[in-house]
Structure 1
Amino acid sequence: MGRKPDIHTLYDETEIASRVEDLARHIAADVPSGLLVIAVLKGSFMFAADLVRALHRIGLEPEMEFIHLSSYGAGTESSGEIKVLRDVESDVAGRDIVLVDDILESGRTLAFAKERLSGRGAGSVRIAALLDKPMRRKTAISADYVGFTCPDKFVVGYGMDMGHKWRQLPFIGYVVQDTEGQAEEQTGE
């Protein structure tokens, strides 16, 4: 099973909660009604849940959907090929969508998802990313709503994992590389 990695707090629970509330207010100002929130699984599940609750607290009643995309499997480096493991079930034609993801890194996954939804006739597709790593971008895409600009560190917690572990942490931490360099790249795109 191996030893637990050395994880240091990057953003604590209070910082995350405050930032999610701020993002909800910005989203509500842009899309005051009829919003469809689509969470990109798996890493965004905590962020998406907190975000829709924050939207509810300020008077919005967004619908919620999920899309499960993969370009990693259990590894830490993207294959570059995006696979749809679970697609959105709702008709998105004419809908205002906020696509929610844990981390915008290379941008391939979110570009793929945005193009897919736009191709189905979505009225608008905005992106909310909890973390943005612009230094890792491989495609011309940016988030409309960003929780934090993340340093170039391997992060875990608050839904994000390392080899399917550490999602349950209530904070976002970064993994200190061991001498074997096991935490070189992030698992999200």
Structure 2
Amino acid sequence: MSANLEHIQQVMAEADILFTAEEVQAAVEQVAEQINQRLCNSNPVVFCVMNGGLVFSGNLLAKLTFPLEQSYLHASRYRNQTSGGELFWKAKPEISFMDREVLIIDDILDEGHTLSAIIEFCKHAGASKVHTAVLVDKLHDRKASADLKADFVGLHCEDRYIFGYGMDYKGYWRNSAAIYAVKGM
């Protein structure tokens, strides 16, 4: 076993569980119910933000009971750029959303720089309205802007380094059904 793998396993062994698999599933159900009520007649385009949003999006989409088009996008933001908010697209949206409502699904709203930039991109590219759904909203005062809030939130958590259910620790543990916090972080 490599030292890297041993470290990754040790992180899980010592991690604090914040939300059990059952609590996470209940949150996904609750978000789906809210989205079903609010977007059922809007014919939205739904984008999963890769890679983190994959698990949440996959489970959430199966619970949405209305017609929609689904795709993904993969964007990152250069952290050292002085003109914050510019995106580097690894995969741009492939479905046209001109004059349509958009739902962006992501794993977590932490500081929100990338999510905020994706929202602005969609608005400028012609979306009639942009909604956001996140599994976790991290509670702190470092958001990209004071008014940045997700429309649909499953869980709220303390300001710690979390992983599981799509969120990773050094690329690992996205596959966990529960959500954990790294010990001491």
Q: Please, what TM-score do these two structures have when normalized by structure 1?
A: 0.84
Shift of residue 139, structure 1, vs aligned partner: 2.0
Equivalent residue pairs, number: 170
Structure 1: stretches of 5+ with no match in the other structure: 73-77, 178-182, 184-189
**Which letter maps to 1:166?**
W
For residues 41-97 of structure 1, give each alpha carbon's deviation from its aligned partner in whole angstroms, at most 9, with x where no partner exists: 111100001110111xxx32322111111237xxxxx54664211110011111111
Report the aligned-residue RMSD: 1.6
The ranges of structure 1 where at least 4 consecutive aligned residues each deviate by more than 6 angstroms after the TM superposition are none
Paired residue secondary structure (2:29): helix
Name which of 86, 91, 106 aligns with 1:101: 106
Which residue of 1 is the match for residue 31 of structure 2? Answer: 23
Structure 2 residue aligned with 1:13, among 21, 43, 49?
Answer: 21
Q: 1:128, 1:144 within 8 Å by CA — same for their partners in 2?
A: yes
Give the superposition deviation at 1:163.
Answer: 1.2
Any conservation in 1 of the 2:161–2:181 contact (CA below 8 Å)?
A: yes
Q: CA deviation at 1:120?
A: 1.0
d(CA) in 2 for partners of 1:171, 1:68: 24
Q: Is the 8 A contact 2:139 2:158 kept in 1?
A: no
The match for 1:47 is 56
Post-superposition CA distance 1:103-147 (Å, at most 9, x none): 111111111000001111111101111111241313241101111
Distance 1:71 1:113 in 2: 10
Identity of aligned residues (%): 31
Preserved CA contact (<8 Å) 1:52 1:62: no
Q: Offset at 1:158? A: 0.5
State the SS of the aligned residue for 2:94: coil
| TM, length-normalised to structure 2 | 0.85
Equivalent positions of 1:107-146 (< 5 A) are: 107-135=112-140, 136-140=142-146, 141-146=148-153
Structure 2: 5+ residue runs without aligned partners?
none
Distance 2:152 2:95 in 1: 23
Name which of structure 1's ranges 112-121 and 13-22 shifts more when overlaid on structure 2. 13-22
Conserved? CA contact 1:9–1:172, under 8 Å: yes
